[in-house]
Amino acid sequence: MGKPKNLFKQDDLNWKHYSGGENFDYHIDYSDAVLDAREDGRLEILVKWEPNSFCHLHKHTAETSSVVLKGELHVSDFDVETGKETNKRIRKAGDFVHKEAGDIHMEKGGPEGALVLFMIYDPSGQGNLAKSITKSGKVISSSNIKNILKRISN
């Protein structure tokens, strides 16, 4: 059993910040803190969005469960064939969801941002977790458990 971590004492966590650039038509400003990562493909990660800011459009390549701890998380599904948004919903503090692999979406923090706990698992044993993509479906980057384990060991 690992040392307990208080998810609301954010200064105690090791955050990695992400931002967009001129290649994106939406404002990207979010951070994540790995809570636990294991070689069997399991990852627990805390993600915080700044107010009205997005994460990269992405496709989950692993099972993902999440619970909103603070704020609101605005979730938009995308069809990469058309590059259009297909569904939009707002998840509030306390909302839990589980999704199988294959979900393509973008998330945005609400007016006060969002803090969300994600539990991700790739049962195939390959450790592939997610792919950041363009609106046309082109892969920009991939997340896998090996890279995350390397990141947190440094």
- Once rounded to an integer, what is the mean pLDDT over residues 82-99? 94
Tell whether the model's pLDDT for residue 144 goes beyond 80: yes
Is residue 143 in some structural domain? Answer: yes
- Position 2 scores a pLDDT of 64
Report residue 151's pLDDT band, with 50, 70 and 90 as the boundaries: confident
- Position 7 scores a pLDDT of 81
70-82: b (≥16 Cβ within 10 Å) or e: bbbbbbbebeeee
Report residue 103's pLDDT band, with 50, 70 and 90 as the boundaries: confident
31-48: b (≥16 Cβ within 10 Å) or e: bbbbbebeeebbbbbbbb
Q: What is the CA radius of gyration of the chain?
A: 15
Percent of the chain with pLDDT over 90: 63
- Once rounded to an integer, what is the mean pLDDT over residues 56-85? 92
Report residue 10's pLDDT band, with 50, 70 and 90 as the boundaries: confident
Tell whether the model's pLDDT for residue 143 goes beyond 60: yes
Q: How many residues does the chain have?
A: 154
Is residue 3 in some structural domain? Answer: no
Instruction: Give the structural domain span for 39.
Output: 13-153
Is residue 71 in some structural domain? Answer: yes
Is residue 19 in some structural domain? Answer: yes
- Once rounded to an integer, what is the mean pLDDT over residues 4-27? 84
Total domain count for the chain? 1
Is residue 1 in some structural domain? Answer: no
Is residue 127 in some structural domain? Answer: yes
CATH number, domain containing residue 61: 2.60.120.10
Is residue 8 in some structural domain? Answer: no
Is residue 4 in some structural domain? Answer: no
In angstroms, what CA-CA distances link 75 with 66, 88, 110, 112, 120? 12, 6, 10, 15, 17
